[in-house]
Structures are given as C-alpha cells and as structure tokens.
Amino acid sequence: MPPSAERLSRPYRPFRLAAGAGLSLAILGLVILVLSSILRAAGAEGESAALRVDIPHLLRMSAIQAGLSTALSLFVGLLIAWALNRLRFFGRDLVIALFATAIVTPGVVVAFGLLTIWGRNGWINRTLEALLDTGIGNPIFGLGGILLAHVTLNGAFAARILLARLDAIPAARLKTGQSLGLGAFERFRIIDWPMLRGTLPGLGAIIFLLCFTSFPIVLLLGGGPANQTLEVAIYSAVRLDFDLRGAVVLALVQIIVCSGIILATTALSPVPASTGPSRAQTWADGTMARLLQWLVLGLGLGAFALPLIVVIVDGLGPGLGRVIASSSFWSAAIASVAIGLASATLTLALALALGLGRAAATDRWLKLVLGLPAFAYLAVPAIVLALGFFLFVRDMGVSPTRAAPIVLVLANALLALPFAIATLGPPLEALASSRGRLIRALDIGGFRQFQLLEWPLLARDMGVVFALAFCFSLGDLGVISLFGTDSFSTLPLLMVRALGAYRTNDAAVIAALILLLTLFAFLALPRLFAWIANARSR
Amino acid sequence: MLDLTRTTLAVAFTLAGGAYAVAQDLPRLTVYTYDSFASEWGPGPALKAGFEAQCTCTIDFLGTDDAIAVLRRVQLEGAATEADVVVGLDTAIAGEARATGLFAEHGLDLSGLVLPSEWTDAQFVPFDYGYFAYVYNTEALPEPPTSFEELIALPDDFKIVVQDPRSSTPGLGHLLWIEAAYGERAPEIWAGLAPHILTMTRGWSEAYNLFLSGEADMVLSYTTSPAYHAVAEDDDRFAYAEFSEGHLPQVEVAGILASSDQQDLARDFLAYLTSPEGQAEIPTTNWMYPVVDLGDALPEAFTAQAQPETILALDEDAVTANSRLWIEQALAAIR
C-alpha cells in the first residue's frame, strides 16, 4: 500500500499520538536522569579501572552467546507454538501457562531446576549410572549450559507469544484453507507464517537483549570467566571499583549497542497480519504432521516443563509447613502481590498508550521512535538503574527506604514493558491497518474505537500482558538491593535471604510457591479479562 | 485505568509508609548492615531485642545486599547518611572504608577479645570471624586434599565451585587467601586450579547450593559452615579441608560513622555487640566464631573440628592497593 493510501486508511488520533510521544519522551528523560544522577555523584578525577576491560572482546562474546540463544529460542518456540496450536488435549491450558512461567521465574531458580535434571548429580546421570554404569558428565557448564538455560527461559516464552498469534487466526481464513485442502506445510506457509512474521523481530530483539545482558545465569553456568557479559563488568565497576564514571561509560556502550539492535529489528519488522476473535481450532493436520506435533510437544514438555515441575516438587516438601506458618512469609507475599498488581496495572497502561500511539502513527519514523522506549529496561544495566534511582530519590530529598516500593513498581513496570509491547503491539497494529477504513467510515472517536474494537478483540491479550507483568514483578529481585530494607520484603527477596542464611529448604519452598502463584496468575488473569470483555459486550 | 493506577500506587505508598510509623520519642540508632545479618534468620532481631531491653532506645537494622553495598551506600551518602553504625564490613574492604574518613574512633577497650591475631584497630570493632576454606562432605570424599598443590594434582574431574571475586565477598576472600599463601606464585596456583573450577558464581549462596546438590566436590566457604549443618540440621557429615599452607581469617567488623549524632549510643551498641550476651547470638545466627570465649554456650559443633593451625595474614594497605591487580591476574590465569 502506498504511503498516502496508508495514511487515508487510518483515522486521525491526535490524543493517542500525543500520549505515546509524551510517554516515549518521559522514559527517555528517565534514562537520562538516571545516568546524569550517577555522573553527578561520580568523582571527576582519577583513571578509570573499569575502562581497562576489553570492551570489543566482551561485546563479541556476549553477541555470540545472545545470537545463538535467540536463534535457538525462536526456532524452538516456533515449533512448540505450532504443535500447541494444532493439538487439543486435556490439560492444554495448564501446559500453556507452564510455558509462560519460565521467563518470569527468577533465572537462578530455573537454572537449579535444570541442574536437577542435567547436572552431575542430576536425574539423567543417576539413571544412566544405575542402568549402564556410565554418565554424561557435566554437560551443563560452559556455553552449552548457558544456551540450554536461555532457551529454556526464552524458548517457552516465545512459544507462548507465538501461540497467541496463531490462536488469533480468524476462523474464516481457516475455513477457506481447509476447503482448499492445504497440506500441513502449505498451511503453515500460507496461513500461519503471515501471522507470525510480524511478531518475530520484536520477540527476537527482546530475547537477544535478555541474553545479552544476562548475568547470574552466565556466571552460574558459565564455567569460569571465559563466558562473560558487559553487564558483569558494569556490576564490578559499580560495586568493586566504585568507578561510577567508568560504569556510566560502559552502560552507554551497552545502551548504544542495544538501541542499534532494537532499531534494526523494529525497522525490519514487516506489517503484521490482521487479527480476529480466537475460535476453537477444529482443523487437524495429517497423521504424519500430528505425530511430529506430539513429538515436539513431548520433547518440549520434557525440556521446559520438567525443570519447573522439579522446582515445585522439591519445594512442596518438609519445609512447607514451617514457611507457611511464618509471618514474614505472609507479609512478603502480601507486599509482592500488592506491588505486582500495581506494576501490572502500570505496565498495561504504558503498553496501551505506547501501542495505541504507535498503531495510530502513519509516519515510519514516528513509529520507530515510539517503539524504542519500551526496551529501556533491557538496555540499561539493572545495577546502573538501581544506583541512578537511588541517587535521584535522595536528590529529591526522599528517604530511599521509603521510596523503595514505589521504585520497585516503576522498575518492574519498565521490565515488563517490552514483553507487553511484543504481545499487544502486533495485534493493535493489525487492527489499525485492517479496520482503519471501517472506523473512518463509522466516524467514531478514539474512546469508542477502544470500547467497540480494541478492547473486545484484545481483552484476552491484555489479560496475558497483565498476568505477564504481574508475574515479572513477583519473580524479579528488582532494583532495591541498594535501597535497603528493614521490615519491607518481597517473596524473591525472602528467598535470597533464606539462601544466604543456609536455609536451602526454605528457599526451595518459597521458589515453589512463587512458581505456583505465577502459574495461577497465567491461568486465571487472561480468562478474567476475556470474561469481563464478554460480559460487557453482551 | 489511570485512576486505578493512582489508587494502587497510593495503596503501595500507604503500605510502605505504615511500616515507618513508629514512636518518635526514643533515641534512634540506625544500623546499616548486609541483608542476611538483618534478616529474620540472622543476628539482627535478637540483637535488637537484647540491646533495646537495656538502652531505652530504638534500633533499626537496614539491610543492603552485601558488605560492599553497605560501604558504597555510606560513601554515596557521605555526611548526610542516616546511618549511625555500619556492621559487617570485612578485612578485605576495611582499608578502603578507613580511607573514606567517614568513620570515627570507637574508644572501646578490646583487649579481652579472642581473635586470630591481636586487635589494635582504633576505628573498627570486630564482632565475629571465620576462615576461608573449602567445605566438603566427608561421606562422599573421605580423603580431601590437604593443600592447594594436592588439590591441583587431583584428576580434572575433581570439581570445586568458587565465587567471582568481582561480585562476591567470599570470592574476593578466596583470592586474597591464595595471595596470602603464595604471593607472586598466586597466578600459577590459579592456573592449576582452573581445570577444577566448575564455575565461578555471582554470590556465595549459588555456589553453596551447587555444592549441596552434588555438582561439585568442594565449595569455597568458611571453616564454620559445617557447624550450621550439625546444629540446624543435625547432620555432621560436613567438614572443611584444612590446608597446610594455612588459612586466611575473615574478621567482620563494625564502625561508628563520624557524622552520627548518636556517638554514645553507637558506642554502647558496639560494646553490647562484643559483650558475652551479644556474642552469644552470633554463632548460631551468623554462623561464625564469636570474638569472646563463650564457654559452654558455644555449640560443640564449632569446636568439633579445630580451627586451622597455620593462620595467614595480609597487610591492609597492600590489599587496598593491589586487589584490582590481583583480580586481573587471577582471571587471566584461569581464562
């Protein structure tokens, strides 16, 4: 479609554009504020020890690792989404929810779940030793281990997002395809692929950035300092060297590299296909394809769900009663849920403002600019963000301890934002391009447009976003480490404290409970949203 | 939607604010410490109860995630800090802390304390100690190595798990231990250890957990770690491997900030911290040796395995001046 026709096909929505642009500027301002707070606190003199690190080497190492992780995650995610979209079985919703939980679970918890299966003393080794008197050794440490963990975390998440796209294929199109007698491969190429390709670049960018900046997993499974990321260098610049200027310079390098990746992928991103209300899938593929789908699903479950199930099983052991009986558990749980709800609400509001603004934009560059701020949290190193927030809050004359919950809500919302945009962006864009003429013809305002079109069609997706943001907040250790806490605690913080005090069993219980809560949120929240939307349209 | 956001934020504010609504009349002592010291499993709660019973004051423990974070926070806050006392710096960063000029003299007589070496520090008060050591399971490993050289000579599939010296306090302690034992030869020892290092974790807890789940034969921890398993889990299979090169102590210290307007109260707290009552709380909450002789009050598990025979030491100024260089050398040697 030529640009002029494109422009004509979309209703003019100045408020949406202004809200999106304003928000983008606000997030950009926040990043600048954070960095400048740090620079102001940094001493002016002295040579920078942090800058002695070999930046090109670190970038190269991180890029290789993140590139491989992303490619594998997308491939695996695509396969699983394909299989899940076609198959119907008892417990399917639970499986889908389980896949979504991986990415929001604290990375270290997932890593230990993987170790229970793949480690030297893990199930595979112990089984092989019992049966064959041989083992697979220690395959999980080194680049292989990092990739395995990253694919577990992100591949399952990719599957969840891609599945949502496949499930949104309008029933009419499926009916046409079925009547044409498309084979499994043709069906994927003609019907599925156009739905997916709009989502892949954004999803790939998120996964790449997550792996590029991943730090605890890289250290835990990396097998020594050969596998390092820039984020580690930044962390040590802040903590060990207390070289704040060096940390800001390294952070800027990371932000520039990440922005380049984001710009490249968003610019390349093709226009997504239109979306419709999701219907039950009634068109099954041929026998061979179905066998392959079951195989993919079985392997996927084994590889992705098992490490999480292990965490739950391990946690619901002897320490459960003790943890549940403690008041600190309940106050942490309440704080976590309150913060989770607040940041999920904020995430949804931010994502809608950015997504609606972006979908209303007809100018290619404006679209690009509106897409950038969603990624702020992934590009800015967590420790730099924490330090910047801390200094900023202090400069404002507020006690950091008192500000901790607010900062946590904001940081968690920013953390979940790219995922929210990846989920909501493509369908919003699709709606704008396919229903634009209709909206212009009806001559309705922006609010009615949301009420009549976007909300009923995307309520379930918004539920997914809300659940995602809520769970991110539940699982994230966040940026409050510098803020200091006394009576205030969240579940992941409590888990880390238990680990630090040798209380491995208590930590396992808390990890399992976080996972169960996450699972519940993923099952319940999208349904709740869809139910509210249906109730209202009736 | 926006209204909802605002309401939720307001609720979060109120929740957070409510926790700070406390009596204003009593003098208040704010103690910055690392998180596990302040947590419900650490010594914080018992020390708070014990000291408040005798001081007519309120004491607040504020936990930041580790000892280095505590120091960085007071450095960032400078004279405007809310902290009166810092608890939990260790010997590896004491020099750097001293150089900031933020700490006042404690003025306490510490000659009665029992420590690996005589204590003459005017600013920092020691409150517990341990030695960096590799911990192992005596059932799985009946004959542990007895020196770094023996460890290096073992087959490559003998694995240890250690912490990254750039992100972890024991990780840095491990590095200093090797430095104290071998000096110029340290890089050679690191190169020898390289094939045995399963991984270098970000913090102590990941490493210890890897060891407990059977992924490694030994873990870098403290000579006092086995006491935890014996006391809290009634499991006496764990021990530390005593090395003939000797062991480097980690002494944890507390200091009073010069900017505090509660100098007397702060001094009283440090006196309480090093008194037999205060010290009695330390071993089974912080899992370190006390700095006074507790007699029968010290669980037997702490003496079941004797403290190391040879004790190493490093000069504080040398540590401050060279740790960055040593870290670079060590990482280069195992890369």
Concatenating the DSSP letter of every residue in A340-364 gives HHHHHHHHHHHHHHHHHHHHH--SH
Q: Which among B17, B42, B229 is the nearest to A402, CB-wise?
A: B17
Q: Give a yes or no: residue B20 inside a domain.
A: no
Looking at the structure, do residues B224 and B312 belong to the same domain, yes or no?
A: yes
Asked whether residue B122 is domain-assigned, the answer is yes
Q: What are the tens digits of pLDDT across the range A232-270? A: 788 888 887 888 888 888 888 888 888 888 888 777 665
Task: Say yes or no for a CB contact (<8 Å) between B12 and A112.
Answer: no
**How far, in Å, CA of A408 to CA of B5, rounded?**
14
Q: Please tell me the distance from the alpha carbon of residue A471 to that of residue B232, in angstroms, as a whole number.
A: 33
Sole residue written with tokens 């940094």? A42
More confident residue, B313 or A399: B313
For residues B158 and B193, is the Cβ–Cβ distance under 8 A? no
CATH number at residue A456: 1.10.3720.10
> What does the pLDDT average to over A210-237?
77
Same domain, B184 and B153: yes
Q: Do B16 and A390 touch (CB under 8 A)?
A: no
User: What pLDDT is recorded for position A48?
Assistant: 62
Which residues of chain B make contact with A406, given a CB cutoff of 8 A? 9, 12-13, 16
The domain in which residue B84 lies consists of 26-129+250-301
State the total domains in chain B.
2
Looking at the structure of chain A, the number of domains it has is: 1
Q: Is residue A528 part of a domain?
A: yes
**Segment A111-161, tens digit of pLDDT:** 888 888 888 888 888 888 888 877 777 777 888 888 988 888 888 888 888
Give exposure, A97-129, as e/b (b: 16+ Cβ within 10 Å). bbbbbbbbbbbbbbbbbbbbbbbbbbeebeeee
Same domain, B120 and B176: no
Confirm whether B213 is domain-assigned: yes
Is A251 contained in some domain? Answer: yes
Classify residue B2: in a domain, yes or no. no
Q: List B residues 87-146 in contact with A (Cβ-Cβ < 8 A).
A: none
Percent of chain A with pLDDT over 90: 6
Contacts of A242 in chain B (CB under 8 A): 72, 75
Count of beta carbons in the 10 Å neighbourhood of residue B9: 18
Residue B77 maps to which CATH number?
3.40.190.10
Decide: B129 and B252 in contact? Cβ < 8 Å.
Answer: yes
The B residues from 3 to 32 touching A (CB cutoff 8 Å) are 4-5, 8-9, 11-13, 15-17, 19-20, 32
Which residue has tokens 């060096």?
A246
pLDDT in tens, A450-479: 777 777 778 878 888 888 888 888 877 666
Q: Residue B15 domain-assigned?
A: no
* pLDDT recorded at residue A280: 54
Cα(A536)–Cα(A306) distance, rounded to whole angstroms?
39
Contact indicator for B199, B215 with CB cutoff of 8 Å: no
Max avg pLDDT among A160-164, A407-411, B205-209: B205-209
**Domain containing A28: what range?**
23-40+53-537
| pLDDT at residue B22 in the model | 46
Q: Cβ atoms within 10 A of the Cβ of A260, count?
A: 10
Q: Which residues of A touch B19 (CB under 8 A)?
A: 486-488
The reply to whether A511 touches chain B by the CB within 8 Å rule is no
Residue B323 has which token pair? 């740790």
The average pLDDT across A168-187 equals 80
The reported pLDDT for the residue numbered B1 is 38
Query: CA of A223, closest CA in chain B: separation in Å?
Result: 4
Classify residue A15: in a domain, yes or no. Answer: no
Tell me whether residue A5 is in a domain. Answer: no
**Do B137 and B37 belong to one domain?**
no
Rounded to whole angstroms, how far apart are CA atoms A103 and B171?
29
- Note whether A497 contacts B41, CB cutoff 8 Å: yes
Alpha carbon dihedral A170, A171, A173, A179, in 10-degree steps, equals 170
Cα separation, A400 vs A407, in Å, equals: 9
Which of A239, A341, A348, A494 is the best mutation test for B, with the most CBs of B within 10 A?
A239
Confidence of residue A34 (pLDDT cuts 50, 70, 90): confident
More confident residue, A171 or A512: A512
Please check whether residue B330 lies inside any domain of the structure: yes
Distance from CA of A113 to the nearest CA of B (A): 11
Are A463 and A525 a contacting pair, CB within 8 Å? yes
Same-domain pairing of B32 and B140: no
Determine the Cα–Cα distance for residues B117 and A6; give it in Å rounded to an integer.
80
Q: Is A14 part of a structural domain of the chain? A: no
Q: How confident is the model at residue A188 (pLDDT cuts 50, 70, 90)?
A: confident
User: What is the phi-psi region of residue A137: left when phi exceeds 0, alpha when psi lies from -120 to 50, beta otherwise?
Assistant: left
Instruction: Give the position of tokens 């608890």.
Output: B87
Element (H, E) at A434: helix A400-442
Per-residue pLDDT of chain B (335 residues; tens, 9 = 90+): 334 444 444 444 444 444 444 445 789 999 999 888 988 889 999 999 999 999 889 999 988 878 888 898 898 888 888 899 999 998 888 999 999 999 999 999 999 999 998 898 999 999 999 999 999 999 999 999 999 999 999 999 899 999 988 888 899 999 999 999 999 999 999 999 999 999 888 889 889 999 998 999 999 999 999 999 999 999 999 999 999 999 999 999 999 999 999 999 999 999 999 999 999 999 999 999 999 999 999 999 999 999 999 999 999 899 989 988 999 899 889 87
Q: Would A471 be classed as within a structural domain?
A: yes
Decide if A45 is inside a domain: no
Residues B58 and B97 in one domain: yes
Looking at the fold, whether B198 and B314 belong to one and the same domain comes out as yes
A277 has pLDDT over 60:
no
The verdict on B134 and B236 lying in the same domain is yes
Return residues 396-455 of A near B (CB < 8 Å). 399, 401-402, 404-406, 409
Asked if B328 and B191 sit in the same domain, the reply is: yes
A219 touches chain B (CB under 8 A): yes
Is B292 domain-assigned?
yes
From A235, A390, A501, residue closest to B42, measured CB to CB: A501
State whether B70 and B155 are in the same domain. no
User: What's the pLDDT at B16?
Assistant: 46
What residues in B contact A49, CB-CB < 8 Å? 324
3-class SS of residue A226: coil
**ipTM for this model:** 0.82
Do the domain assignments include residue B197? yes
Average pLDDT, chain A: 81
Q: Is the pLDDT of residue A290 over 50?
A: yes
Domain check: are B60 and B166 in the same one?
no
In the prediction, which pLDDT does A201 show?
A: 84
3-state secondary structure string, A233-254? HHHHHHHCCCCHHHHHHHHHHH
Output the CA angle B223-B227-B233, nearest 5 degrees.
145
Triad A191, A197, A199: Cα angle to 5°: 120
- Whether residue B263 sits in one domain with residue B208: no
